[in-house]
Amino acid sequence: MDYEQILKEQFHNVTGDENLDSLLNEASDLTEGLASEFSAENILEAMSQGQSIFNNPGIIETFRDLFLLEIKGALILCVEILIICIIIGILKGLSTSFSSRSVSDISILICSMIISGLCISSFKDTYALAIDSVATMVNTMEILMPVLIGVLIATGSVTSGTVLSPMIIGSVTGIGFIIKTFVLPALFVSTILGLINCLTEKDYVNKLAKLIRNASVAVVGMLLVIMTGVISIQGLLTDTSDGILINTAKYSMSNFIPIVGGFTSDTVELFLRCMSSIKSVLGIFGIIILLLLLTVPLVKILTTALIYKFTGALAEPVADSKISGALSDMGSCMVSIAAVMFFTSLLFIMFITIVIKIGGN
Amino acid sequence: MEQVYIWVKDIFLVIISLTFFQILIPDSKMDKYIRFIFSLVILAIIAEPVIVLVKGL
């Protein structure tokens, strides 16, 4: 029996297959089938044979297709907005020929309202996508973490496992809740306030919208710093105490048990190594899933943001500066949403990395 | 969160309707004062959650 087979067998024993499969299915639904190429078995095989896991040229093509598709979808919106902007420009030029100024003012106001309606309806899709992707990330972590912690305990890091398990799972759930119920809705509200602002001549809610946006991004940044700080420091500490435990066990086994003690201690060592390579495979599987769950929506959102900025730049000569400013503000709001998603997945990836790192001795 | 949505909806409706009124009122000497009163109304709407929060304490 060679070691690859043993590793594979143990891998299936340790991790529940149906858990990982359901995770993979959910992820590949959201990432246009990209995630299905990185199943845990493939990663295990690549690791035991020393191959690269990213040797598939299809990945780049999928991303390019996704990008072009999104550009096509967003360009339709861009053209619609630009046509209304041109109408506004014409109305402004004609305003002297109307009997009173208020007629042209009202028509311009209605055109601006149509533009903000279009923006809100496209922004709703982006918002739903962001909420969905954050929810899937949290779900991934909630399925993966118990398995990973179980393997972590099997590598001999009992203290780390018992201390980190409630901390990590609690903070993952908490962060998911905070981002889904406070941060993303706050960004949504800030976008709507920014759009309201483009309807009026005077700035009424411009600063309020900016305040809400900056506050929500700052909250996420603070969460990131606090959570990773606490958990990585805790991980360092428990890792040390686990090291003492394992080394004492190995030393006492090889010295106090006569004759077979040395072999037994080596076997224990081999077992722990095997477990820690299984842990790495699981962790890398989780990181890749999280990265894909981040990248695919991120491509979509950033493409839309780019198109908004572009439309804002194009609209500036024909429409007034208010509308072009509001359009490029929409772009900034989408970039903020993308930043929140990026922070969330960065935090989760850090959690997984901390767990992989523990017990590496 | 529900109250926040209601707040934003209020801001939206008040600003839209006041903008319409501003366009529709005939030009007169009172124009400036009416605009000032409108902005006071918007200020009150924006500050509403703060007032509710302070009252609750």
- φ, ψ at A225 (rounded to 5°): -65, -50
Residue B28 backbone phi and psi in degrees, to 5: -155, -175
Interface-testing mutation among A204, A207, A322, with chain B (most B C-beta atoms within 10 A): A204
Query: Which of A261-295 are b and which e, b meaning 16 or more Cβ less than 10 Å from the residue's Cβ?
Result: eeeebeebbeebebbbbbbbbbbbbbbbbbbbbbb
- Which pLDDT belongs to residue A186? 92
Sign of CA dihedral A250, A256, A262, A267: negative
Q: Which of B47, B31, B4, B23 is nearest to A187 (CA)?
A: B4
Interfacial B residues in 26-55 facing A (CB < 8 Å): 39, 42, 46
pTM to 2 decimals?
Answer: 0.86
Q: What value, to the nearest 5°, has the Cα angle with vertex B6 and ends B5 and B10?
A: 115
At A52, list the tokens. Answer: 């690269």
Binned at pLDDT 50, 70 and 90, residue B40 comes out as very high
Count: domains in chain B: 1
Mean pLDDT of A241-251: 83
Using pLDDT thresholds of 50, 70 and 90, give the confidence band for residue A191.
very high
Nearest-angstrom CA–CA distance, A196 and A204: 9
Average pLDDT of chain A is 85
Contact (CB, 8 A) for A104 and A92 = yes
Least confident of A11-15, A72-76, A212-216, B44-48: A11-15
Q: What is the mean pLDDT of residues A86-103?
A: 80
pLDDT at A36: 73
**pLDDT confidence of residue A360:** 61
Domain ranges in chain A? 13-37+56-69+123-357
Q: For position A70, what pLDDT does the model report? A: 87
Burial level of A152, CB count in 10 A (0-12/13-18/19+)?
A: buried
Beta carbons of A109 and B19 less than 8 Å apart:
yes
Handedness of CA A120, B42, A206, B52 (dihedral sign): negative
Q: Inform me whether the C-beta atom of residue B14 falls under 8 Å from chain A C-beta atoms.
A: no
pLDDT band at A1 (very low <50, low <70, confident <90, very high): low
Q: What is the pLDDT of residue A302?
A: 92
User: A196, B11: Cβ pair inside 8 Å?
Assistant: yes
The ipTM, to two decimals, is 0.85
Domain that holds residue B35: 2-56
Alpha-carbon gap: A289 to the closest alpha carbon of chain B (Å): 31
Q: What is the DSSP string of A259-306?
A: TTHHHHHHHHHHHHHHHHHHHHHHHHHHHHHHHHHHHHHHHHHHHHHH
Virtual torsion, Cα A147, A151, A152, A158, nearest 10 deg: 100
The pLDDT, as a whole number, for residue A338 is 93
Using CB atoms, pick whichever of B5, B15, B23 lies closest to residue A204. B15
Nearest to A122 by CA among A340, A334, A315: A334
Average pLDDT on A158-186 reads 89
Per CB-CB distance under 8 Å, the chain B contacts of A102 are 23-24
**Interface of chain A against chain B, CB under 8 Å?**
102, 105-106, 109, 113, 181-182, 185, 189, 192-193, 196, 199-202, 204-205, 208
pLDDT at position A345: 92
